Structure 1
Amino acid sequence: MGATLVFELEKIKSLLKDVDVVTAIEEGFKQYSNGNTVVPPVGELLFEDPPGDVHIKYGYIKNDDFYVIKIASGFYNNKNLGIPSSQGMMLLFDQKTGQTVAVLLDEGYLTDVRTAAAGAVAAKYFAPKHIDAIGIIGTGIQAKMQLHYLQKTNPCKTVWVWGRTVTNAVKFKDELADDFDVHIARTPEVVAKNCNLIVTTTPSESPLLQAADIRPGTHITAVGSDTSNKQELDASILQKADIIIADSIFQSKSRGEIYQAISKGFISEDQISELGDAIQIQDLQRSSDQQITVVDLTGVAVQDIVITSAVFLNHQQKKK
């Protein structure tokens, strides 16, 4: 093997243009739920001042060529410094020899993309057939990416957005005005009243949406709660839901909306199905436009494995 390759962000973005990320992520979830991966528990560093968290996720798909270690962080005051909240890198190794194949200095970009692609997969199987409007809770990078990736599976141009400040919401609307009809909501409740597909993307530690706000037939993809102390949905929403899906049942025992709801006694573990299983088993999918569905995305290392491998393999293909 030759020297370790180093890909910087612009190169990564260029290579990613030719990758069907949604299909790759969907396949990754299937491999995970089928037991074809080795994914240890998440490594985590939590910071208080300034607030931030670092996740170390790693693993491999059995009988594949690579294993991946991902380091990704979110430091939420970064916006005050004029830099993105997401940072990090992906490390690609040869599964047979342990040699370092590539270092992807993606600055958290691949984590954002694979999370948005997972949101598209969730909506593909659980959103109602007719979407009145897409609701976005949050105004950051992930909020915008979720909206764009939803167009690949559940296209809808009418959007309601809520942000912690009006300034952030106005900026969100202005940046997306050419492609979407964006309405600014005064509260998360207003988003819920107007939308039957909602994505929550904030690092909130207290619930933003309440069960009484949620219309029959609504699908919610919860993205922001990826640690044990974050929560965007009141636990009674999961109690009210007809279908509850975890990207990883194992991870939902220690983090995310499902963890919060189980620990407070609102639901039990036997009510949860895993996304990779639901993709493959129709009986686990939405069967009525009146059902309330929740998919809790805590972020699984298999997503990092498939997106990192796809970027590298596309580079190899272009060299031929």
Structure 2
Amino acid sequence: MWVVPEKEIAGLMTPEAAFDAIESVFASMARRKAYNFPVVREAIGYEDALYGFKGGFDAAALTLGLKAGGYWPNNQKHGIINHQSTVFLFDPDTGRVAAAVGGNLLTALRTAAASAVSIKHLAPKGASVLGMIGAGHQSVFQMKAAARVNKFERVLGWNPHPEMLGRLADTAAELGLPFEAVELDRLGAEADVIIAITSSFAPLLMDGHVKGPTHIAAMGTDTKGKQELDPALVARARLFTDEIAQSVSIGEYQHVIAGNLVQQDAIGELGAVVTGDNPGREGDEVTIFDGTGVGLQDLAVAAAVVELAKQKGVAQRVEI
């Protein structure tokens, strides 16, 4: 099998290539050419860690595999990031393992690419203000990916721990955008596009905060109980997601479904917007993309990086 170490990923996978891979796999999902396997995600009772598996099969690209890993909130004491994962690809013709790929940077890139795809297809026309809720490791990737698909003029930011807002300010400065730390009511009122990327288990952005046409990329909820948005806000919005079954079980929409505020058939697939089978935004409404993070996203970027690694001679061949 081929091995692509984590240290090589940054020199191989660009944000643009990640965007193309994610937009393509969303379209394959909408055309029913690709499907995800049921997610396994468990609190293991050690180091407060969440560990699991996400996998799937893309018949169009002939990509089969899984990502194993999770979230270790105490990793700072080890000097490494909290999200740790590895992607394994398999030969769909034989079932033999084909590749093992470092998944940490790929996870950040594919997560940011997913929200960027939603912004490209669902943001209000003329959107100029980006609101960032959350200043963790992935917020940097999110802001940069958003800026690549839309011409923002300024960035507003909020984080549960204000001392971390320097990360958002630095990223905005790198992009040449003015940044201001604000409270959530002002962020919701002024931002045309809002990215939420936290690990919250209670709603942060409330219904009364959001004014006018807005697109919200809710990227942090990927486990039962997690929540970033007020159910009343979700209930009045037009809803989209990467995969409906995952969204209503472990994503942001689990709460409105459980509360009977929204029927499942009101939730659309972002891939259908990409293919043109769903019109997407139709006016001045609030749209929400629930990015739960599906296994096919990981496989798409991993398969792309394996080919790049082979071409550049940095993939290692291992016999098992």
TM-score normalised by the chain length of structure 1: 0.91
Inter-partner Cα distance in structure 1 for 2:163 and 2:311: 44
Matched, 1:272 2:252: no
Inter-partner Cα distance in structure 2 for 1:306 and 1:127: 24
Inter-partner Cα distance in structure 1 for 2:134 and 2:77: 17
* Letter aligned with residue 26 of structure 1: E
Matched, 1:78 2:75: yes
1:199 alignment counterpart = 195
Per-residue deviation, 1:148: 0.4
2:218 alignment counterpart = 222
* Letter aligned with residue 164 of structure 1: P
2:276 alignment counterpart = 281
- Whether the aligned pair in 1 keeps the contact of 2:155 and 2:172 (CA below 8 Å) is no
Structure 2's unaligned 5+ residue stretches are 314-320
- Say if 1:176 and 1:52 are closer, same or farther in 2 by CA, change over 3 A: farther
Indicate the SS of the match to 1:87.
strand
Alpha-carbon deviations, 1:99-143, whole Å to 9, x = none?
A: 22221123x211111010000000011111112310111001211
- Say if 1:166 and 1:64 are closer, same or farther in 2 by CA, change over 3 A: closer
Inter-partner Cα distance in structure 2 for 1:274 and 1:59: 17
Matched, 1:238 2:238: no
Per-residue deviation, 1:52: 3.2
Per-residue deviation, 1:175: 4.9
Structure 1's unaligned 5+ residue stretches are none
- Whether the aligned pair in 1 keeps the contact of 2:63 and 2:300 (CA below 8 Å) is no
Per-residue deviation, 1:15: 1.5
2:246 alignment counterpart = 251
2:204 alignment counterpart = 208
Inter-partner Cα distance in structure 2 for 1:283 and 1:38: 19
2:164 alignment counterpart = 168
- Whether the aligned pair in 2 keeps the contact of 1:43 and 1:56 (CA below 8 Å) is yes
Indicate the SS of the match to 1:115.
helix
- Count of residue correspondences: 312
2:317 alignment counterpart = none
Inter-partner Cα distance in structure 2 for 1:112 and 1:281: 27
Deviates more, 1:218-227 or 1:258-267: 258-267
* Letter aligned with residue 96 of structure 1: D
Indicate the SS of the match to 2:128.
coil
Inter-partner Cα distance in structure 1 for 2:196 and 2:152: 17
Question: 144, 148, 171: which is aligned to 2:140?
Answer: 144
Per-residue deviation, 1:82: 3.7
Indicate the SS of the match to 1:15.
coil
- Whether the aligned pair in 1 keeps the contact of 2:89 and 2:97 (CA below 8 Å) is yes
Matched, 1:308 2:305: no
Indicate the SS of the match to 2:203.
coil
* Letter aligned with residue 197 of structure 1: V
**1:90-169 correspondence to structure 2 within 5 Å:** 90-106=87-103, 108-169=104-165
Per-residue deviation, 1:283: 4.6
Per-residue deviation, 1:48: 5.8
Inter-partner Cα distance in structure 2 for 1:175 and 1:155: 15
- Say if 1:188 and 1:50 are closer, same or farther in 2 by CA, change over 3 A: farther
Per-residue deviation, 1:69: 1.2
Alpha-carbon deviations, 1:53-95, whole Å to 9, x = none?
A: 2231111111544312101312233346542111111112211
Alpha-carbon deviations, 1:211-239, whole Å to 9, x = none?
A: 11101101100000111110000111111
